[in-house]
């Protein structure tokens, strides 16, 4: 089977074509090659490649440059390929998250040889796995000049609504210690599991903030995501570890979020194990305002963490906007509405031409 991509196909058919080229994280080469080949055929774009990530840019000298980005990898196939259409819905691995968004971006790249804004298209690898391998992160470190821009749209599934910024996330392990003893003489030991009670008290009493940032309302959360302790059925445990996850609004820097967690658990042994900053929605910037006006709808806050924070780290305001349904991501029965893909394409063309 040829893996050539025909960018003159309608966007629904192109999505199906891309879905049928398997590209589980770490195994994106065939699809990356096809994307690169299709983009290199377009004379109005400069194309660069790093690993399995492709960046294609117009160079029209416009006063604004916008970035349109999407990852080309998927979670593992779950017996849900090849794709098929049923009642206007395209089923298959990666349809919603986020090959529909990738197809829209490719259509825009081919169709708009003279957009009103310069455009940088980014197709990257390894978004669905550990952060260290993330292709967009790699590009931001190795080729920050490829990613410059005034505004970015990440075409993750948002059900066709604009989602601004994203909340940050951090994890910390709180370790409570005790002293082992045989449980038949428990008073000779100190029970670390019993001593974890105040940690749970703090979590139960915690009042999560719902701050408004750049006009969007966020909703934080501080939660235990794991607890473990115990040596054997006849031993008083000498250690209990509570893993907490703090989801914080974009009015807090990563440092401020860590400081907050340290204050909340003042006096406890605490170690951060995972840190990802939030991203401000940036919808108060004029360039973002033009996007919102062109695409329509009422922007809402993004509560989960997404790669928009990488753009935010580069000083580029960014939003999530794509045709997929976030609730279907990573599900075996994943699908995307063909009508929503086409609608997304129309709105994006309207914005970039306008």
Which positions ≥6 away from 134 have C-beta within 8 Å?
124, 126, 127, 307, 310
Q: Which residues bind a copy of itself (CB under 8 A)?
A: 167, 169, 171, 182-187, 191, 193-194, 196-197, 200-201, 203-204, 208, 219, 221, 223-237, 240, 242-243, 245, 247, 274, 303-305
Nearer to a copy of itself by C-beta: 16 or 176?
A: 176
CB of 303 to a copy of itself, least distance (A): 5
Residues 6+ away with beta carbon under 8 Å from 106: 5, 7, 14, 18, 35, 38, 39, 121
Nearest distance, CB of residue 297 and a copy of itself, angstroms = 20
Separation in Å, CA 344 to CA 23, 157, 285: 23, 11, 22
Phi/psi of residue 83, each to 5°? -70, 160
Whole-number Cα distances in Å, 317 to 86, 265, 294, 310, 329: 37, 33, 17, 10, 24
Query: By the 8 A CB rule, do 117 and 18 touch?
Result: no
- Which of 36, 52, 73, 97 does the annotation list as catalytic? 73
Which is closer to a copy of itself, CB of 144 or CB of 304? Answer: 304
From the list 127, 128, 150, 163, the catalytic residue is 127
Q: Give the tokens for residue 229.
A: 């302790």
Minimum distance, C-beta of residue 285 to a copy of itself, in the bound complex (Å): 25
Grouping H, G, I as helix, E, B as strand and the rest as coil, residue 289 is helix
- In the complex with a copy of itself, which residue's Cβ is closer, 199 or 310? 199
Q: Catalytic residue at 145?
A: no
Q: Quick check: is 28 catalytic?
A: no
DSSP state, residue 235: B
| Nearest CB to a copy of itself, comparing residues 53 and 167 | 167
Considering the complex, what minimum distance in angstroms separates the CB of residue 125 from a copy of itself? 21
Residues tagged active-site: 73, 127
């Amino acid at each position: 089977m040829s893996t050539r991509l025909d960018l003159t196909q309608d966007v629904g058919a192109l999505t199906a074509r891309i879905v049928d080229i398997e590209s589980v994280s770490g195994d994106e080469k065939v699809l990356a090659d096809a994307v690169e080949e299709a983009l290199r055929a377009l004379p109005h774009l400069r194309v660069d490649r790093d690993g399995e990530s492709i960046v294609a840019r117009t160079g029209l000298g416009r006063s604004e440059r916008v970035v349109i980005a999407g990852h080309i990898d998927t979670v593992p196939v779950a017996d849900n390929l090849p794709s098929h259409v049923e009642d206007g819905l395209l089923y298959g691995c990666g349809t919603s998250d986020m090959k529909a968004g990738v197809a829209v971006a490719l259509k825009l790249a081919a169709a708009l040889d003279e957009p009103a804004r310069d455009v940088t298209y980014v197709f990257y690898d390894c978004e669905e796995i550990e952060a260290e391998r993330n292709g967009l992160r790699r590009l931001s470190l190795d080729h920050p000049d490829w990613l410059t821009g005034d505004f970015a749209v990440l075409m993750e599934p948002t059900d066709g609504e604009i989602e601004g910024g994203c909340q940050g996330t951090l994890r910390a392990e709180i370790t409570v210690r005790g002293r082992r003893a045989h449980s038949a003489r428990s008073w000779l030991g100190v029970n670390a599991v019993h001593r974890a009670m105040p940690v749970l008290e703090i979590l139960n009493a915690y009042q999560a903030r719902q701050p408004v940032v750049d006009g969007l309302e966020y909703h934080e959360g501080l939660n235990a995501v794991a607890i473990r302790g115990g040596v054997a059925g006849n031993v008083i445990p000498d250690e209990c570890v509570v893993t907490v996850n703090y989801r914080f609004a974009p009015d807090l820097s990563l440092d401020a979020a860590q400081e907050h967690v340290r204050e909340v658990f003042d006096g406890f042994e605490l170690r951060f194990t995972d840190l990802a900053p939030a991203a401000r929605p940036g919808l108060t910037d004029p360039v973002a305002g033009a996007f919102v006006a062109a695409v329509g709808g009422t922007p809402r806050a993004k509560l989960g963490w997404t790669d928009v924070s990488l753009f935010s780290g580069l000083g580029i305001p960014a939003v999530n906007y794509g045709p997929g349904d976030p609730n279907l991501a990573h599900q075996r029965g994943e699908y995307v509405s063909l009508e929503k893909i086409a609608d997304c394409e129309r709105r994006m063309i309207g914005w970039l031409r306008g």
